[in-house]
Amino acid sequence: MKVILTEDVAHLGSAGDMLKVKDGFARNYLIPKTMAVIATTENVKQLEHQKRQIQAKLNKIKKDSESLAQRIENISCTIARAAGEEDKLFGSVTSADIYASLKNEGVEVDKKKILLDEPIKSLGIFSVPIKIHSEVTANLKVWVVKE
């Protein structure tokens, strides 16, 4: 029997997949628990329509992410910190500091999306990647200067 999964089922497939399963498994388990529906022509058309809607929404999100990435790449954040000899900072510049600097510039990004491997501990210019979307990453130019 051909069925369309309405939700993710472990060891079987994810929502939206059309599968051929044994009749008893479909009738006694998948359909009563609303994990699947029978793959009629009407249900297949409805599934394809939903997939097109989801794809359009994902394309819009990606386009918005790319425009935000372009905006971030045009910004350069300047962070002033107290520094000692040999341009070593007293403390460090963390992703929270970069987040605050971006917020002052009017760009709202999740703090967890700032991919700073380790805190910045010296003066200079650094390129910090910010993962906006699964396929879109922007590089922010951060200037760490002496107070």
Element housing 122 (H / E): strand 120-122
The C-alpha R_g of the chain, in whole angstroms, comes to: 25
Q: Do domains 2-65 and 72-146 have the same CATH topology?
A: no
Q: Nearest CA to 147 among 100, 83, 85, 86? A: 83
CATH code of the domain occupying 2-65: 3.40.5.10
Distance CA 81, CA 108 (A): 23
Give the residue extent of every domain in the chain. Answer: 2-65, 72-146
Give, for all 147 residues of the chain, the pLDDT tens digit.
Answer: 999 998 889 899 988 899 999 999 999 999 999 999 999 999 999 989 988 998 999 999 999 999 999 999 999 999 999 988 887 888 899 999 999 999 998 898 999 999 999 999 999 999 999 999 888 999 999 999 998
CATH code of the domain occupying 72-146: 3.10.430.100
